Structure 1
Amino acid sequence: MQFDLLLRGGRVIDPASGLDALCDVAIADGKIAAIEAGIPADRAARVVDATGSMVTPGLIDLHSHVYWGGTSLGVDADRLAAKSGTTTFVDAGSAGAGNFLGFRRHVMERSKARILAYVNISFAGIFGFSKNVMVGECSDLRLCEPREVVGCVAEHRDVVVGVKVRAGKHASGASGIAPVDLAIEAADKVCLPLMAHIDEPPPGRSEVLPRLRKGDILTHCYRPFPNAPVFASGAVRPDMHLARERGVIFDIGHGMGSFDFEVARAMLKEGLAPDVISSDVHLFSIDGPAFDMLVCMSKMMALGMPLIDVLRASTERPAHAIARPDLGRLTIGGSADIAVLGERAGPASFYDSTGAELVAERELMSHGIVVGGLWWPNEAKDEVRAYAPGGRQTHADIARRHFGRCNC
């Protein structure tokens, strides 16, 4: 059999199957045709030398904002894909029922990278998010209409993976817990999970968490004070343990203001590693502190999370969270969505949403991705990121300049 593409000599790591070995991956007609050692190079039309690299399932960013051009917070998924190792972006509620068709026609269907989405309980989606305008989409309950969400899902179920709600002082204003209850009503009706964002109270974490069901996603699970999941003593709050026990999925959702190293350390110490690692990349986080999936994954490795667990939380587990078992794994006959990753020696200084520094001995980087069987090299792989203050953007300065503190 002749192949279209051969990824040769890499360390193939697939957490879903337990595979971790030096071998080759052959691709034909957009599908994985063989995973074995010693496949002759002359059997492939194109050969990519993956020696010294990791060949993994394409990364899945469970929380991103990629309604680029249609919302002010959106970023271009295709500009981010190859350099971040990400083949699937899951948009976290940028669009609501009122503008979902535009998102699909003008962004999803034109993107080389795969885009799936949570539909926002707010009819208008996240519509007021910029330097000078910050209006929470759930602050007016007239926009939170479950019947519109149900209709949207019926029309776009092939690309909709759940319902999104943003609750808190910034996202829902005086609406309190009501948007969460309405979103759960909609999610239950369409038999899909809910992704819940919590920023500053009200509502408090203690109001939102008990409402979340098995398979629902708590994003920003390592967020800083207020609404942090840990006490001042560093002990994890009991409601977080109860949520994990009943099957609520913990997602990092780093973003601009939603990731705290000290909270992460406390959670990891008590065995509450994240189920999913995601970037929450958007207008104010793409140039720091989140940047992309690989930066977020590198931070978790620096905090002590093993490489295999980091890869699992970026491939197999997000695929399970969105009920897409065809993604996040390397399977003969399966879609050829693949990342070719490397490691760059440190030290590298990373920063969280509070401005705290974490020095890492290594960081992940991308050589390129395979999407639909086609090799897509990372043309910016030699780019040196400016993580430290004084680089491309300083996240603390952005937060102060725009609205005191970004909780997104």
Structure 2
Amino acid sequence: MDHDLILRNGRVLDPGTGRDEVADIAFAAGKVAAIGPGLRGRAERDVSGCIVMPGNIDLHAHVYWGGTSISVDADQLARRCGTTTWVDVGSAGPGNFAGFRKHVIEPSQTRILAYLHVSHAGIFAFSPSVMVGESGDMRLMDTETCAAVAREHPDLIRGIKVRVGANTSGVNGIAPLYHALAAADRAGLPVMCHIDRPPPRYEDVLAELRPGDILTHCYKPFPNAPCYADGRIKEACWQARERGVIFDIAHGAGSFDFGVAEAMLAGGFPPDVISSDVHVLCIDGPAFDNMETMSKFLLLGMPLPDIVRAVTAAPAAVLRRPDLADLSVGSTGDATVMRMEEGRFNFTDVSRQTRTGRQRFALDSMVVGGALWHATDGQAKAAE
């Protein structure tokens, strides 16, 4: 049988199925069709020396490009970092989600899912020149409409987003989170909660989150860090993880600190999900994209299979999209192919600390819907 595409001789690293071996993988009719020797295809690509993983899922991004000032172009950035599924978290709210769907999500070649902001217009004033926290005005908390819009778009909306903290909710403190929880309860969805500077405190937010809810920006630096100055992990983190709260990195411009990450990993508290929080203020550094964030965890000593799980099977479970979780036969035909580059590479966190590493991930190619969508050499070899 001739398949549509064969990736040959790559290291298939798929924590969702437990596979880690050099193998060929075939795609047909938009799905994973076969893994093994002797496969034939109408097109093929030799990916010897590369890692072939399920399509990279960025659980925290801002990609309502052209509709909100915070957002970047998903397809353009994907060609740099290999993300096949983006989750836009709160760029759009119930008042403008229809435009997001029609003008950005539907035309996009890479997949875009969403967490809908409980604020009426989402994150509407985030730029180098204007910065207004949408949760600072309780009149914008559109709880009932948020739940209704989420129910109208179950194929795309996977949760409810809210931002709280001194920068985003100001004197309202934790109150916007209560609106998000109410909307999420009505819609039968989880909440993703952003935190920045206190109030509220890290512990106060965790106390409100339910099993399956997400604390994003989980490795923030002082003064709202998950650990004490001596490196001890706050008890609230252990309690929240025990009851099923998800801890998401969301690097961004202010939410990943090497010292905090080192303390958390040393204390046995790795993140559940690695994501970039890519937006206009961090696309050119320090976050760049999710592959850069993954490289920082490689530098910190996180095992490679755990890094891959944190951008594939783990976010797929959060999204309740098991078809995106792995490369099993019949699953969605998305794959990210990475090279491991050797050299001397500097990585910078949001506190302007720099670490130097000997390895980093780099994109070789990506498969979207069973077809070779992008290759860094611009070539797709036709099978003989």
**1:198-241 alpha-carbon deviations (Å, 9 max, x no partner):** 00011121221100111111110000111111111111111111
Match of 2:88 in 1: 91
**1:46-71 alpha-carbon deviations (Å, 9 max, x no partner):** 11111111111000000000000000
CA contact (8 A) 2:115 2:161 kept: yes
CA contact (8 A) 2:61 2:277 kept: yes
CA contact (8 A) 1:88 1:116 kept: yes
Offset, 1:380: 7.8
Q: Measure, in 2, the Cα distance between the counterparts of 1:6 and 1:361.
A: 31
**1:247-284 alpha-carbon deviations (Å, 9 max, x no partner):** 11010000001000110111111111000000000001
Asked if 1:261 corresponds to 2:265, the answer is: no
Q: Measure, in 2, the Cα distance between the counterparts of 1:163 and 1:342.
A: 35
Offset, 1:172: 0.9
The equivalent position to 1:44 in structure 2, one of 24, 27, 41, is 41
Match of 1:119 in 2: 116
Offset, 1:345: 0.5
CA contact (8 A) 1:276 1:317 kept: yes
Asked if 1:355 corresponds to 2:352, the answer is: yes
Partner of 1:129: helix, strand, or coil? coil
Match of 1:27 in 2: 27
Match of 1:185 in 2: 182
Match of 1:204 in 2: 201
Match of 2:152 in 1: 155
Asked if 1:369 corresponds to 2:366, the answer is: yes
Partner of 2:42: helix, strand, or coil? strand
CA contact (8 A) 1:83 1:368 kept: no
Match of 1:238 in 2: 235
TM-score by length of 1: 0.91
Offset, 1:170: 0.9
Q: Measure, in 1, the Cα distance between the counterparts of 2:81 and 2:377.
A: 10
Using a 3 Å threshold, how does the CA distance of structure 1 residues 124 and 7 change in structure 2: closer, same or farther? same
**1:313-345 alpha-carbon deviations (Å, 9 max, x no partner):** 010000001111110210112211011111110
TM-score by length of 2: 0.97
Offset, 1:161: 0.6
State how many pairs are aligned: 378
Partner of 2:181: helix, strand, or coil? helix
Asked if 1:102 corresponds to 2:99, the answer is: yes
* Aligned residue type for 1:282: H
* Aligned residue type for 2:17: S
Q: Measure, in 1, the Cα distance between the counterparts of 2:284 and 2:376.
A: 18
Partner of 1:138: helix, strand, or coil? helix
Q: Measure, in 2, the Cα distance between the counterparts of 1:270 and 1:338.
A: 32
**1:124-168 alpha-carbon deviations (Å, 9 max, x no partner):** 100001111100011110110210111111211110010001000
Identity of aligned residues (%): 53
CA contact (8 A) 1:32 1:330 kept: yes
Listed as ranges, the gaps of 5+ residues in structure 1 are: 382-408
1:297-312 pair list within 5 angstroms: 297-312=294-309
**1:280-330 alpha-carbon deviations (Å, 9 max, x no partner):** 000011100111111000101111100000000010000001111110210
Partner of 1:274: helix, strand, or coil? coil
Match of 2:244 in 1: 247
Partner of 1:135: helix, strand, or coil? coil
Match of 2:7 in 1: 7
Partner of 1:95: helix, strand, or coil? coil
* Aligned residue type for 1:19: R
Offset, 1:358: 1.1
Q: Measure, in 1, the Cα distance between the counterparts of 2:32 and 2:340.
A: 25
More displaced stretch, 45-54 vs 274-283: 45-54
Q: Measure, in 2, the Cα distance between the counterparts of 1:25 and 1:165.
A: 40
Q: Measure, in 1, the Cα distance between the counterparts of 2:220 and 2:318.
A: 20
Q: Measure, in 2, the Cα distance between the counterparts of 1:282 and 1:222.
A: 18
**1:359-393 alpha-carbon deviations (Å, 9 max, x no partner):** 11100011111001110224489xxxxxxxxxxxx
Match of 1:172 in 2: 169
* Aligned residue type for 1:83: R
* Aligned residue type for 2:262: R
Q: Measure, in 1, the Cα distance between the counterparts of 2:239 and 2:178.
A: 20
Offset, 1:191: 1.2
Match of 2:130 in 1: 133
Q: Measure, in 2, the Cα distance between the counterparts of 1:296 and 1:17.
A: 24
Match of 1:325 in 2: 322
CA contact (8 A) 1:122 1:137 kept: yes
Q: Measure, in 1, the Cα distance between the counterparts of 2:144 and 2:343.
A: 51
CA contact (8 A) 2:201 2:224 kept: yes
Partner of 1:362: helix, strand, or coil? strand
Q: Measure, in 1, the Cα distance between the counterparts of 2:153 and 2:185.
A: 17
* Aligned residue type for 2:7: L
* Aligned residue type for 2:337: V
The equivalent position to 2:343 in structure 1, one of 341, 346, 349, is 346
Q: Measure, in 1, the Cα distance between the counterparts of 2:377 and 2:128.
A: 28
Q: Measure, in 2, the Cα distance between the counterparts of 1:139 and 1:378.
A: 44
Match of 1:69 in 2: 66
CA contact (8 A) 1:84 1:293 kept: yes
Q: Measure, in 2, the Cα distance between the counterparts of 1:320 and 1:177.
A: 27
